[in-house]
Amino acid sequence: MALRNPQHAFSKTLSDEHLATHSGSSSSSAASAEREVVHLTPDFDSDEGADDGVDGVDGVDDDDDDDSDSDLDMGMGMGMGMRGGERAQNDSYKMQRWQPVHREKGKFKELKKADLDLDVDVDVDMDSDEDSYRDETRRRRRRGSFSTVQSYQLYTPDEERTVVRKFDRKLVVFVALLYMLSFLDRSNIGNAKIAGLERDLHLDSNKYEWVVTAFYIAYICFEWMSILWKVIPAHIYITVIVLSWGIIASLQSIATSFAGLLVLRTLLGIGEAGFTGIPFYLSFFFKREELAFRTGIFLSAAPLATSFASSLAWGIVKLGERSPIAPWRLLFLVEGFPSVLVALFAWHHIPDSPNTASYLTTREKKIARLRLRHEVTSSPSAKTTPSSGLKIREVFLTFRDPKVYLTALMFFFSNMAFSSMPIFLPTILTHMGHSASTSQALSAPPYLLSFFSVLLTSYLSDKFCSRSPFLIFHALLSSLGYTLLALPPHFISPSIRYLAIYPACVGFFCVITILITWTLNNQPSSSRQGTGFAIMQMVGQCGPLVGTRLYPETQAPYYTEGMGVCAGVMFGVAGLGWGLRWWLGRENQRSGGRYGRLGGEWEGEDEEERGLVANENGNGKVKSRRDGKISFLYML
């Protein structure tokens, strides 16, 4: 079995050859010393854990015995002064210290031969018969262990930063590009309408509304596919869903009737629903305190795409006016087909886990796994298989967790406000007396500012390892913007009304980013992470269905009632965020905040039964989960 926290398992070895050099009256002392310094590394059960990693570290593979020294070159010297009198005094203490584990495990044994062999200088000082040995120094070859992380440096901070930056450049940026393509494919229906879609397919306002709504209904109903990231290898899953939505989005260009377009929009919603679980997938590669910034990079693709989507659509439509293809058909084809091409590249580029990242060296793969040994073990050593990936018991426990529904309600309110922005922004700009081209230009700055604000907010949230203060602040900021927009026209000028869009837009984009990360951070197992994320998405994505109906044409151009509702729900998000922080803080105090690891997980019945979860404060004590003292430490 693999010990979850390696820094508390230790081994002290004294060579039998060295003890053999002492004879006569020293034999009894040598035997005592030999008995005392036996390996205190817990026994590994069959192939579980031991074959799963080097020296019993979960998620570290025994790739090659011959390559272990070259992959992790950690040759170093260590001196150990051991006096017989001192060791005799400590003998009973150490046996008592490990006795509970000894009783539970039954026995200990030496580390496997596959473990790392390290050349160290062992400086042994032994006294004679009356508790003294002759002083001597000999070089011995000694079994090293990854579990002694407090003594041995497994990798340098520079090496870890190199691995993280590779994931940022190769993985995070790539999935952000995919999200940008999906956002363009789902939102180009509005530009297609202006380019002649309604006229050619004979769509009235009711039919067009059904075409738009069909996408979101399918999108909501299939949000449960977020848990499939735990079951299906990522390179297969991403390739299939990206290829499917790319083909379907392109096929919209050959639609000839309302029924055909309705079916295609429904299938498009199903295809894109499975992609929302990317933040959950990123947790396979990043620590809990690194996840917000990477989620921010991914989600910031939405405001970035919105800022230039109208300009891109305008250029494609102008090109279509000079081609034999109808402009709206060309729009669907040009914005949909790139997803098909990128999907083919994703098959070889997307890793299932750190162990399968082709752009990492062998050493970097081991570092990528070691740095996550205290995190939620959602993808150690490519264990993303249907049999070992999803734990049904954890899934059902998630449905009983009130925190899941609280975050889902906050997500619902945030999406209500988010979905309303594209509706009233063009009307406000038109009411200011600008031309169509000027209005289009003025609609981009709020989204561009949101793009940079999401990156800055998520970076600071990771830096301070905190979520709720940023969520509360931006929820209040968005509420302030909507409050100004809800004022009657004789209170504020059109220019002030336009400026109020900035805090409203920045606020809800940042809230959504932090809320998604916070939800993932505060589930104690990867199965519960995926399930909690799916519940949040299924409930939260109903927000646009309500939000888009808060702005009837009868209230144009100011929509004061709809603005007031959005101001209220964003204020409610701030209140719910404060309440969740208080709740989680109380849970941390109740558990003492001592044994829960930041992002730690004890997933699996076998691990719980063995009860080998170590205290993080470095004293080497081992507690059992059955005593009720082990708990998950929530991020506030």
Ramachandran angles phi, psi of 145, nearest 5°: -140, 135
Question: Average pLDDT, stretch 484-510?
Answer: 90
How confident is the model over 28-44, as a mean pLDDT? 38
What mean pLDDT value characterizes the chain? 73
Average pLDDT over residues 403-415: 95
- What pLDDT score does 591 carry? 74
pLDDT at 614 over 60: no
Element counts in the chain: helices (H) and strands (E): 27, 5
Find where tokens 């803080």 sit: 585
Cα dihedral 88, 9, 56, 626 sign: positive
Q: What residues have CB less than 8 Å from 2, skipping those under 6 apart?
A: 44, 48, 49, 50, 52, 53, 56, 57, 58, 59
Most confident range (mean pLDDT) of 192-196, 339-343, 434-438 is: 339-343
Q: What is the pLDDT of residue 80?
A: 39
pLDDT of residue 146 exceeding 70, the answer is no
| Rg (alpha carbons) of the chain, rounded to whole number | 30
pLDDT for 278 equals: 94
Q: How confident is the model at residue 548 (pLDDT cuts 50, 70, 90)?
A: confident
Q: What percent of the chain is predicted at pLDDT more than 70? A: 66
User: Of 306 and 102, which is predicted with more confidence?
Assistant: 306
Least confident of 15-29, 356-370, 397-411, 560-574: 15-29
Region 449-474: mean pLDDT is 95
- Residue 593's pLDDT band, with cuts at 50, 70 and 90, is low
User: Model pTM?
Assistant: 0.70
Average pLDDT over residues 355-363: 92
**Band of pLDDT at residue 119, cut at 50, 70 and 90:** very low
- Sketch out the chain's domains with CATH numbers: 6-143 (no CATH), 155-371+382-390 (1.20.1250.20), 391-591 (1.20.1250.20), 592-627 (no CATH)
At 391, the pLDDT band (50, 70, 90 cuts) reads: confident
Burial category of 158 from C-beta neighbours within 10 Å (exposed 0-12, middle 13-18, buried 19 and up): exposed
Rounded Cα–Cα distance for residues 623 and 615 (Å):
7
Q: How far apart are CA 501 and CA 510, in angstroms?
A: 14
Non-local (6+) Cβ contacts of 549 within 8 A are none
The pLDDT, as a whole number, for residue 554 is: 80
pLDDT of residue 274: 87
Q: What is the pLDDT of residue 229?
A: 87
Neighbours of 539 (CB within 10 A): 20
Q: How confident is the model at residue 92 (pLDDT cuts 50, 70, 90)?
A: very low
Over residues 138-166, mean pLDDT: 62
Report the amino acid identity of residue 187. Answer: S
Give Cβ neighbours of residue 605 (< 8 Å, ≥ 6 apart): none
By CB atoms closer than 10 A (0-12, 13-18, 19+), residue 92 is: exposed
pLDDT band of residue 162 (cuts 50, 70, 90) is: very high
Tell me: pLDDT of 490 over 90. no
State residue 632's pLDDT score.
Answer: 67
The model's confidence at residue 375, banded by pLDDT at 50, 70 and 90, is low
pLDDT winner (highest mean) among 230-234, 250-254, 592-596 = 250-254
What pLDDT band is residue 524 in, cutting at 50, 70 and 90?
A: confident
CA dist 409 to 63, 395, 404, Å? 46, 19, 9
151-155, 259-263, 495-499, 553-557: least confident range: 151-155
pLDDT value for 437: 67
pLDDT band for 559, please (50, 70, 90 cuts): confident
Residue 143, classed as helix, strand or coil, is strand
Instruction: Give me the mean pLDDT over the 338-364 stretch.
Output: 92
Does the pLDDT of residue 103 top 50, yes or no?
no
Instruction: Express each pLDDT in 275-292 by its tens digit.
Output: 989 999 999 999 999 999
Q: Is the pLDDT of residue 126 over 90?
A: no
Nearest alpha-carbon partner for 110 in 37, 177, 159, 183: 37
| Averaged pLDDT for residues 312-336 | 87
State the pLDDT at residue 436: 64
Number of Cβ within a 10 Å radius of residue 585: 14
